[in-house]
A = this chain, B = another copy of it.
């Protein structure tokens, strides 16, 4: 049997991403030893019950000692605190990476605190679900998803290749770009959609003329599609909003401009403009399906009641 890719991997944070990593690292034998750290004793106990690692600690510094690869999977607002905590304990030559949804801010928080003798390679696997916590993870989470690196000017190519190989063996495809561009891309493909989803669910929740129970009963006619994103982890998304402010405000401004224009077309009964707009957006979905980033099942296949793992209570009135 070949040697594992890393002797020891430390996972700092064991939520959806961290626990998915633990599972795929084990399945693919990517580490001789998995050390898990999280500040919450309850979460740590659960990770241990699930048997996700080989050692467990509430101290990140303990977990990273002697680790060849350290993966920080915490809300981006905690990146700086984690860097401060692990810096003195890092093994020289170790690779330190993260999975945060914003990159400029993570770099600004972590880089100044990390020692010069480790390889800090900011990363972001574009994978997730609306669930959170160590129970939510699964080994296939990264399969055919993208992992984006935003290397620093002095990033060692060999370390980058080693980390890329790690993520490929987790199932991911690799891309690299600079941090500014990453933050702009993610603002449109991920941050704006989540903010809009949170907002519309909030708007519906506040109405006086339509009751909450009506919103829920009739949600299958469209509203429901937004609630998945709006059920995502609040701490993670608060931090994303606070740490990718500029790009998010830019995308929000564009979105609101476009919406004002659409609203005007509705007010003035401009059917041609509405038709044109509603036509061109169809092609985008087709491309996403062709790129393997979506399944071509109507209504996401929700009608398939025998869906593996589906919980579909009978709610006939």
A222: shortest Cβ distance to chain B, in Å?
4
Residues of B within 8 A of A307 (CB): 295, 297, 301, 304, 307
Q: How far is the CA of A221 from the CA of B309 in the complex (A)?
A: 22
Q: Is A166 close to B, CB under 8 A?
A: no
A284 touches B193 (CB 8 A): no
A81 interface contact, C-beta 8 A = no
A288 to B204, CA, bound (A): 13
Q: How far is the CB of A48 from chain B (nearest CB, A)?
A: 23
The reply to whether A288 and B258 form a contact with Cβ atoms under 8 Å apart is no
Determine the distance from Cα of A43 to Cα of B205 in the docked complex, in whole angstroms: 41
Q: A266 with B248: in contact, given A184-B210, A186-B218, A258-B206 (CB under 8 Å)?
A: yes
Q: How far is the CB of A246 from chain B (nearest CB, A)?
A: 10
A214 at the B interface (CB under 8 A): yes
A168 CB to nearest B CB, Å: 10
Of the candidates B241, B275, B285, B306, the one whose C-beta lies within 8 Å of that of A235 is B275
- What's the tally of chain A residues with a CB closer than 8 Å to chain B? 132
Contacts of A144 in B (CB 8 A): 314-316
Chain B's nearest CB lies how many Å from the CB of A161?
16
Give the segment of A33-41, A59-67, A133-141, A152-160 that binds chain B: A133-141
Binds B, one of A1-9, A112-120, A194-202: A194-202
A290 to B129, CA, bound (A): 19
Q: Which of A85-93, A102-110, A249-257 contacts B (4 or more CB under 8 A)?
A: A249-257
* Interchain CA distance A303-B20 in the complex, whole Å: 13
For residue A299, CB closer than 8 A to chain B, the reply is: yes
How far, in Å, is A160 (CB) from chain B's closest CB? 17
In contact, A256 and B256 (Cβ under 8 angstroms): yes
A227 interface neighbour in B231, B267, B285, Cβ under 8 Å: B285
Given contacts A199-B255, A218-B146, contact A173 B282 (CB under 8 A): no
Contact residues in B for A127 (Cβ distance below 8 Å): 220-221
Q: Kindly state the separation between the CA atoms of A294 and B209 in the bound complex, as whole angstroms.
A: 24
What residues on B are CB-neighbors of A195 within 8 Å? 262, 266
User: A219 CA to B193 CA in the complex, in Å?
Assistant: 10
B218 touches A189 (CB 8 A): yes
Query: Does A229 belong to the interface (CB within 8 Å)?
Result: yes
Give bound CA distance, A140 to B305, whole Å: 10
Chain B residues within an 8 Å CB radius of A259? 196, 199, 252, 256
A292 touching B314, Cβ below 8 Å: yes
The answer to whether A290 touches B313, judged by C-beta atoms less than 8 angstroms apart, is: yes
Task: Specify which of A262, A265, A281 lies most central, judged by the most chain B CB atoms within 10 Å of its CB.
Answer: A281
On whether the beta carbons of A245 and B274 are closer than 8 Å, the reply is no
Given contacts A202-B277, A282-B234, whether A217 and B293 have CB atoms under 8 Å apart is yes
Kindly list chain B residues whose C-beta atoms are within 8 Å of the C-beta of A296: 310-311
Of A129, A248, A259, most B-chain CB atoms within 10 Å:
A259
Would you list the 5 A-B pairs with minimal beta carbon distance, nearest first?
A292-B315, A129-B298, A193-B222, A234-B278, A190-B221
